Amino acid sequence: MASFIVLLTAVLPLMAKCFLFNGPNWNNLRVTWGMNPFNYNNYATMPRTEQDAILKGFVMKSNCNATRNFVGKRYWKDEDPSVMLLYDVNGYIAGIQIGIAKGLKTGSGDNYPFQQQINAPFVDDGDLYIITAYFTDPATVCTIGRTESDFRTHGTGNVLHIQNGTLPTDVITAPTHEKDLTSTEWTEGKCFPSMELW
Ligand SMILES: *[C@@H]1O[C@H](CO)[C@@H](O)[C@H](O)[C@H]1NC(C)=O
Ligand SMILES: *[C@@H]1O[C@H](CO)[C@@H](O)[C@H](O)[C@H]1NC(C)=O
């Protein structure tokens, strides 16, 4: 759990504390926290519809139901696995993945991810290990998807599920309100001040 939180704070910093829901509509999706909020690459806004993703140069890496290991139409840009976006059958954002190329070593020469993290949460996927988070119910992503009205009401999503196993039904559901974190294993990460800007 600790390494999980470290990972999320390092790579998906807008999740956890920095990423709580202000009102009913979660109206953006940004990735890549950086020290300088004015740097173009930091807090990059990600496309929340498949149509917009295509316009922004993302291409489909795999279609819905291509594997049992996750759900969603998966898009990436410039074949960069560090941010891969998942859309439902209707083209609305459903989740996000981070892919780590196999063969990565830590500074001390150990394989990363560590053996005990393989398949929960880092799922073996070809030449990558992937970690997946969903913003909607995974059961609907490749079946009915969201309607335009769902998307208008919820925005990016209405839940935060982090897949911790080889199937999209194996999820950890993050509380959406900080007050619900008490008596859970979630702990406060060490954020830099600018992590809380958004
Ligand atoms: C994730 O799954 C692993 C393997 O089943 C388990 O040991 C671990 O406790 C799970 N993590 C959480 C936060 O539930
Ligand atoms: C994906 O598989 C589910 C379950 O078999 C099926 O109901 C659904 O129609 C499939 N979706 C697509 C887009 O093929």
Residue spans of the domains in the chain: they are: 2-196
The pLDDT of residue 190: 67
Model confidence pLDDT, tens digit, residues 23-47: 446 777 877 655 555 555 556 789 9
The pLDDT of residue 172: 93
Q: How confident is the model at residue 69 (pLDDT cuts 50, 70, 90)?
A: very high
Q: Is the pLDDT of residue 13 over 60?
A: no
Across the strands, what pairs with 123?
130
**What contacts 48, CB < 8 A, 6 or more positions away?**
28, 29, 92, 93, 151, 155, 156
- C-beta of residue 86 within 8 angstroms of C-beta of residue 50: no
- C-beta of residue 62 within 8 angstroms of C-beta of residue 74: yes
**What contacts 32, CB < 8 A, 6 or more positions away?**
41, 42, 43, 44, 83
Residue 148 CA, ligand 1 centroid: distance in Å: 34
The alpha carbon of residue 16 and the mean position of all alpha carbons in its chain are separated, in whole angstroms, by 11
d(CA 2, CA 91): 34
Percent of the chain with pLDDT over 90: 60
pTM for the whole structure: 0.82
The pLDDT of residue 186: 75
Q: Is the pLDDT of residue 3 over 50?
A: no
Mean pLDDT of 168-173: 95
Pocket test for ligand 1, best of 131, 132, 164, 169 (most atoms within 8 A of CB): 164
Q: Is the pLDDT of residue 56 over 90?
A: yes
d(CA 74, CA 72): 6
- Of 22 and 16, the one with more pLDDT: 22
d(CA 188, CA 40): 28
The pLDDT of residue 43: 61
Q: Which amino acid is at 187?
A: T
- The finding on whether 156 has its CB within 6 A of some atom of ligand 1 is no
Residue 107 CA, ligand 1 centroid: distance in Å: 25
Nearest to 122 by CA among 88, 86, 159, 97: 97
The chain-wide mean pLDDT, for the chain, equals 82
- Of 158 and 3, the one with more pLDDT: 158
* C-alpha separations of 5 from 64, 91, 139, 168, 176 in Å: 28, 29, 25, 19, 15
Residue 90 CA, ligand 1 centroid: distance in Å: 31
- For residue 89, the ligand 2 atom closest to its alpha carbon is 13
The pLDDT of residue 82: 87
